[in-house]
Amino acid sequence: MNRRRFVLTTTSTAIAALALAACGDKAPGASAAAPAPAPSSQKPSAQEAYEMAARGSGFAVGPVMAANTVYVFFDPTCPHCAALWTNSKALSTKLKMVWIPIGWLQRSSQPQAATILSASDPAAAMAENEASVLQRGGGITVSSSLSDEVVAKVKANTELFHKLGEESVPLIVFKNGRTGQFGTFAGAVPAEQLAAMVGV
């Protein structure tokens, strides 16, 4: 059963009522590459989660000088992550998103995440991967020359994700650009809901 979670420092019934879709280690067919540590009994606050996410290794999409940055933890084998990637394209001129790859759901997750992160154009590699995942094609072909450094970055991202106490991806970590409120949201959403959530 998919884990569904929505945490905001303020309540938004319109967004909270959305039917969410996310991938987690309890989802049917999930076969984690390594056992996930138990989530911390004390989850960080939304603001702490945002500050922690800023330390992840990812790649940015959108305006470099955007006033607000949204962080997304994703697994390259997750179809819901692919859906969020596709939906977020509509906001690419307004919103800076940093996509942070983790290796969690499948044995191929870590090498595929490292392949995307180490690509000369990570956004293009991500687009290739997500299109393949949506077509059930298995994702991007793993690079034969992955460095220990980039693999270590993916491992660190995965550990960071677990420190946030979350159990499903995509995980959106944000600060609302209009209200200044911090929040986390696990699941794929349409572009208009994403825009409302992050305040663009």
Largest Cα–Cα separation, the chain: 47
Specify burial of residue 26 (Cβ count, 10 A radius: 0-12, 13-18, 19+): exposed
Give yes or no for a contact between 154 and 101, defined as CB atoms under 8 angstroms apart: yes
Superfamily of domain 5-182+191-198: Glutaredoxin (3.40.30.10)
Give yes or no for a contact between 92 and 62, defined as CB atoms under 8 angstroms apart: yes
- How high is the pLDDT of residue 14? 34
CA dist 10 and 92 (Å) reads: 26
Q: How many residues does the chain have?
A: 200
| Side chain identity, residue 159 | E
Q: pLDDT digits over 142-182, tens only?
A: 999 999 999 999 999 999 999 999 999 999 999 999 999 99
- How high is the pLDDT of residue 25? 58
Residue ranges of domains in the chain = 5-182+191-198
Q: Is the pLDDT of residue 114 over 90?
A: yes
Q: Is the pLDDT of residue 18 over 60?
A: no
- How high is the pLDDT of residue 155? 98
pLDDT band, residue 16 (cuts 50/70/90): very low
pLDDT band, residue 4 (cuts 50/70/90): very low
Q: pLDDT digits over 115-148, tens only?
A: 999 999 999 999 999 999 999 999 999 999 999 9
